[in-house]
Structure 1
Amino acid sequence: MSLYQTIYASSSSSMFGKDELMQMLAKSRESNAKKGITGILLYKDGNFMQVIEGEEVEVNKLLEKISADPRHKRILRLHSRRIKKREFTDWSMAFRDLDDLDLHKYPGYSDFLNMPLDSPAFEEDSSLVHKLIANFVRINR
């Protein structure tokens, strides 16, 4: 099986409340588990950043579905690549609402984690996407 990973950012068409985020996440986890999709979803200030990994066809189908979802706007595919192994093996879809975190209290805090998820900097330099995700995973292990 050839594994593929895509990272995208989008803005929500309206702000999500906690209940709405949790409902969306529960449906996503169930659907993703059936399709062999793993990844992580970050939410902050009405913006999403998500890593999706799995078989290339399934990853692309999911991104098409997300692109057609009226809850999302300004979807930017930041980075796509073939991978040898999953980075989020045990997570059908990890989630963190970065609005709820007092990030400065975490060891290794970097103000970089407060960059808006729809920042043009991510589109201009895809290595920043990996840095954001790596910092998030390191802090939350």
Structure 2
Amino acid sequence: MNYLVYVSQARQGLDAADLRAILSTSRNYNPLHGISGMLLFASGRDGRRGSFMQLLEGDRRAIETLRTTIFADPRHHTKIVVEQGEKPERDFADWSMAFRNVTREDLTGYPEFADLGSDHFFARCEAGATHRSLEFLKDFWAAEPREDVP
């Protein structure tokens, strides 16, 4: 099983309708291509843009095809692959795309990811200093496996 985790910054003004559209598209597309995963959205502070962190699981070629499409989407920018590789099995097999809308408070138990979306966080991602993103996503979901409807 292959996987890829990336982060990106939402364009200014991205709203709940945009998030619903992203989820609807992924939940229709992913099962047809053997892809599962999880999407986090962290709202920005003081009305600033938000940020995404997403895990994709599946066949390497299918993931790369989808990554190319996702990275061409103008609803976000500063797209950085932070981790990719192989793993023994799916962690989100029951989800074409699980979703959590997270706050700073939700992330306080995860010091390496507590500043998700900040300029400092993206600088660390670009420097390759967010090594445990897959573990973080699995642990975060396991701690409270619920979906937040945008």
Q: Same fold judged by TM-score > 0.5?
A: yes
1:110 aligned partner: 109
Structure 1 runs of 4+ aligned residues shifted over 4 Å read: none
Q: Write the mapping of 1:39-78 to structure 2, written as runs, cut at 5 A.
A: 39-44=37-42, 45=44, 46-78=50-82
Does the Cα contact within 8 Å between 1:39 and 1:51 map onto a contact in 2? Answer: yes
Alignment gaps of 5+ in structure 2: 45-49, 146-150
1:80 aligned partner: 84
CA spacing shift, 1:58–1:96, aligned 2, 3 Å: same
* Distance (Å, rounded) in 1 between the aligned partners of 2:58 and 2:30: 9
Q: Write the mapping of 1:28-39 to structure 2, written as runs, cut at 5 A.
A: 28-39=26-37
SS at match of 1:24: helix
Alignment gaps of 5+ in structure 1: none
Does the Cα contact within 8 Å between 1:122 and 1:129 map onto a contact in 2? Answer: no
Identity %: 27
TM-score, scaled relative to structure 1: 0.83
Q: Write the mapping of 1:5-44 to structure 2, written as runs, cut at 5 A.
A: 5-44=3-42
TM-score, scaled relative to structure 2: 0.79
* Distance (Å, rounded) in 2 between the aligned partners of 1:117 and 1:138: 22
Higher helix share: 1
Does the Cα contact within 8 Å between 1:9 and 1:48 map onto a contact in 2? Answer: yes
Shift of 1:131: 4.0
Does the Cα contact within 8 Å between 2:82 and 2:131 map onto a contact in 1? Answer: no
